[in-house]
A and B are shown apart, each in its own frame.
Chain A
Amino acid sequence: MNSNSTMTTVMPHAIAKPAVTPLALVGLAAGLAVAVGAAFWFSDYHLFQLTMVVVYAIAILGLSIVTGFNGQISLGHGAFYAIGAYVTAILMDKYDVPYFYTLPASAVVCAGVGFLIGLPALRLGGLYLALTTFALAVAIPQLLKHKALEDFTGGVQGIVILKPDPPFGLPINGDQWLYLFTLGVGCIMFLLAWNLLRGRIGRAMRAIRDRAVAAEAMGIDIAMLKTRTFAVSAMFTGIAGSLGAIAVQFVAPDSFTVFLSIEFFVGMVVGGAASIGGAVFGAFFIQFVPNLADQISKAAPGAVRGIILIIFLYLAPAGMAGLTRMAIRRLRRPKPTGA
Chain B
Amino acid sequence: MNSASTSAASPSVANEGSSAALMSVQGIVVRFGGVVAVGGVSFDVGRRQICGLIGPNGAGKTTLFNCISGIYKYNEGDILFEGNSIRSTPRHRMAGLGIGRTFQNVALFRSMTVRDNILVGAHQLGKSGFIANALRLPFVRAEDERAEAKTDSLLDLLDLRKVAEELAGGLPFGWQKRVELARALIGEPKLLLLDEPAGGLNHGEVEELEGLLRQIREHFDLSILLVEHHMNLVMRVSDKVVALEFGIKIADGTPDEVRNEPEVIRAYLGESDDDDSH
**Residue from A8, A192, A199, A218 in contact with B140 in the complex, judged by beta carbons closer than 8 Å:** A199
> Whole-angstrom distance between the alpha carbons of A200 and B112 in the complex?
13
Whether A200 contacts B109 in the complex (CB less than 8 A), given A195-B134, A217-B95, A217-B101, comes out as no
> Whole-angstrom distance between the alpha carbons of A32 and B91 in the complex?
45
A-side contacts of B130, CB under 8 Å: 196, 201, 228, 232
Contact check, A196 vs B116: say whether CB atoms are below 8 A apart. no
A226 located at the interface, meaning its Cβ lies under 8 Å from any Cβ of chain B in the complex: no
Contact check, B187 vs A218: say whether CB atoms are below 8 A apart. yes
Query: Which of B91, B100, B143: most chain A Cβ within 10 A?
Result: B91
> Whole-angstrom distance between the alpha carbons of A216 and B113 in the complex?
19
* Beta-carbon contacts under 8 Å, B156-174 to A: 165, 167
A-side contacts of B119, CB under 8 Å: 200, 203
Contact check, B108 vs A211: say whether CB atoms are below 8 A apart. yes
* Beta-carbon contacts under 8 Å, A3-32 to B: 8, 12-17
Whether A216 contacts B116 in the complex (CB less than 8 A), given A8-B111, A201-B129, A228-B130, comes out as no
A-side contacts of B123, CB under 8 Å: 200, 203-204, 207, 218-220
A-side contacts of B77, CB under 8 Å: none
Contact check, A217 vs B91: say whether CB atoms are below 8 A apart. yes
A-side contacts of B136, CB under 8 Å: 195, 199
A221 located at the interface, meaning its Cβ lies under 8 Å from any Cβ of chain B in the complex: yes
> Whole-angstrom distance between the alpha carbons of A196 and B129 in the complex?
9
A77 located at the interface, meaning its Cβ lies under 8 Å from any Cβ of chain B in the complex: no
A222 located at the interface, meaning its Cβ lies under 8 Å from any Cβ of chain B in the complex: yes
User: B101-133 toward A: CB 8 Å interface, digit per residue (1/0)?
Assistant: 101000111111101100111111010111001
A213 located at the interface, meaning its Cβ lies under 8 Å from any Cβ of chain B in the complex: yes
* Beta-carbon contacts under 8 Å, B48-105 to A: 69, 71, 90-96, 100-101, 103
A-side contacts of B240, CB under 8 Å: none
* Beta-carbon contacts under 8 Å, A186-231 to B: 192-193, 195-196, 199-204, 206-207, 209-211, 213-222, 228
> Whole-angstrom distance between the alpha carbons of A213 and B112 in the complex?
16
CB distance from A234 to the nearest CB of B (A): 13
A-side contacts of B113, CB under 8 Å: 16-17
CB distance from A272 to the nearest CB of B (A): 12
> Whole-angstrom distance between the alpha carbons of A228 and B69 in the complex?
26
User: A15-52 toward B: CB 8 Å interface, digit per residue (1/0)?
Assistant: 11100000000000000000000000000000000000
> Whole-angstrom distance between the alpha carbons of A213 and B107 in the complex?
8
* Beta-carbon contacts under 8 Å, B178-196 to A: 183, 187
Contact check, A214 vs B111: say whether CB atoms are below 8 A apart. no
> Whole-angstrom distance between the alpha carbons of A16 and B164 in the complex?
11
> Whole-angstrom distance between the alpha carbons of A206 and B101 in the complex?
19
**Residue from A17, A203, A207, A213 in contact with B165 in the complex, judged by beta carbons closer than 8 Å:** A17
User: A97-138 toward B: CB 8 Å interface, digit per residue (1/0)?
Assistant: 000000000000000000000000000000000000000000
**Residue from B112, B147, B187 in contact with A219 in the complex, judged by beta carbons closer than 8 Å:** B187
**Residue from A13, A199, A204 in contact with B144 in the complex, judged by beta carbons closer than 8 Å:** A199
B-side contacts of A12, CB under 8 Å: 111
Contact check, B110 vs A217: say whether CB atoms are below 8 A apart. no
CB distance from B122 to the nearest CB of A (A): 8
Contact check, B134 vs A200: say whether CB atoms are below 8 A apart. no
**Residue from A192, A199, A207, A274 in contact with B109 in the complex, judged by beta carbons closer than 8 Å:** A207
**Residue from B92, B140, B187 in contact with A216 in the complex, judged by beta carbons closer than 8 Å:** B92
* Beta-carbon contacts under 8 Å, B200-228 to A: none
Whether A199 contacts B110 in the complex (CB less than 8 A), given A217-B101, A219-B95, comes out as no
B-side contacts of A213, CB under 8 Å: 71, 103, 107
Q: Which residue of A lies closest to B96 (CB)?
A: A219
> Whole-angstrom distance between the alpha carbons of A195 and B136 in the complex?
6
Contact check, A218 vs B120: say whether CB atoms are below 8 A apart. yes
Q: Which residue of A lies closest to B124 (CB)?
A: A219
Contact check, B91 vs A207: say whether CB atoms are below 8 A apart. no
B135 located at the interface, meaning its Cβ lies under 8 Å from any Cβ of chain A in the complex: yes
Q: Which residue of A lies closest to B121 (CB)?
A: A218
B-side contacts of A207, CB under 8 Å: 109, 112, 120, 123
Whether A220 contacts B92 in the complex (CB less than 8 A), given A196-B130, A200-B126, comes out as yes
**Residue from B112, B133, B165 in contact with A201 in the complex, judged by beta carbons closer than 8 Å:** B133
Whether A15 contacts B140 in the complex (CB less than 8 A), given A200-B128, A219-B124, comes out as no
Query: Which of A207, A214, A228, A232: most chain B Cβ within 10 A?
Result: A214
Contact check, B167 vs A14: say whether CB atoms are below 8 A apart. yes
Contact check, B111 vs A13: say whether CB atoms are below 8 A apart. yes
CB distance from B10 to the nearest CB of A (A): 19
**Residue from B95, B116, B126, B128 in contact with A17 in the complex, judged by beta carbons closer than 8 Å:** B116
Q: Which residue of A lies closest to B113 (CB)?
A: A17
> Whole-angstrom distance between the alpha carbons of A197 and B12 in the complex?
43
CB distance from B105 to the nearest CB of A (A): 11
B-side contacts of A220, CB under 8 Å: 92, 120, 123-124
Whether A15 contacts B95 in the complex (CB less than 8 A), given A199-B128, A199-B136, comes out as no
Q: What are 8 A-to-B residue pairs whose CB atoms are below 8 Å? A: A192-B135, A195-B135, A196-B130, A207-B123, A210-B111, A211-B110, A214-B103, A219-B93
Nearest 6 A-B pairs (CB), nearest first?
A219-B124, A219-B95, A210-B109, A214-B107, A195-B136, A196-B134
Since A200-B147, A210-B109 are in contact, a sample of 7 more A-B pairs with Cβ atoms closer than 8 Å, ordered by chain A residue number, is A200-B119, A200-B128, A200-B143, A206-B109, A207-B112, A219-B92, A219-B95
